[in-house]
Structure 1
Amino acid sequence: MTTRTDSSSDVGVRPMVEADWPDVERIWAAGIATGDATFESSTSTWDVFAAGRPAAHRHVAVGGGTVLGWVACSPTSSGAVYAGVVEHSVYVAPDAQGRGVGGLLLDALVASTEAAGIWTVQSSIFLENEASLRLHLRHGFRVVGHRERVGRAAAGPAAGRWRDTLLVERRSDVVGS
């Protein structure tokens, strides 16, 4: 487990396992409720979640015996030329935000994806989700596009409204160099 001391406790990152699902789902649902984290309107089941996200790239941050956040990715395409490109999600529990948890999770994801030969990690971020954008920029991501009216929000305060997103990516300095 990777650890770092922050202002409130020791926080470690470890692989996500099925037993973490109730906490992962709770944190995901809290993000959905904000309306600024995802187009999704509800969480899925563990089986659906795990089937689309390789186990080697699913991580949780734990502090004080509690899951504080999670990160996972999925392939962007089944095409062989895109084998080194993934899209990720990172969620931090509301009471753990601002404590460095998101950064620890992104660092763990970058380490696991680079070890697997993945050269690009990307995500779409709602324009209004300034905290997520700042987090990603601090961890080596860059904005590569602004997608206008890419989809309608399904949940939260913006339900039914067309939303813009920023496409961010992080290119590996070690894979494909």
Structure 2
Amino acid sequence: MRSSETDAFFKVPSDWERFNKKEILVAVDLSDSPGANEGFKFLEAYDAAPDPSIDHVIGAELPKFPVVRAEVRQLTPVTRDRMSLQSIRNALFPIDELFQNDQVDVLAEEDVVLDGGVHGLRLDYNLSLAGNLTAVAGNQILRVTQIGLLDPATNLLYLFWVQCTADCFQQHQRTIDQIVDSYTVKEQ
């Protein structure tokens, strides 16, 4: 995948189902919002499931096969002023709050700096859907690898993530690693 407008690149297997910006915005009831459409410079997702569904992409169902989502958000002046590594870390889920409640286990966190001043962080974490990370029957764990980057002028937020159950992540680790390693943002 290549977004020429935002210079974000990544590769997914060609047989994965693609969902475009319009499909995603309709699924989350934002299709009539001009602000949402304009705020996303790019929005696309892919589902590896044999029975792909937009519900896997938007989080309505726990994905049992890898799901990839990439977006580039145009930041408003107010949002731009408040952006930090903490903002990036909490862009998908309120990681800091969930950590305090033992609902997330951060497996790895590293700063990312790309050529041209694009910078941010990469997080790998497990998120408990049952409310805590204890080994209780039926506790489903969502594993996420998330990359959040800011352009040098802090006008654009690049978000990229892969998610599925922890078991799925383990089964598809090689493919997931290849996808995550392929993600980059070129200097504009």
Same fold (TM over 0.5): no
Q: TM-score, normalised by structure 2?
A: 0.29
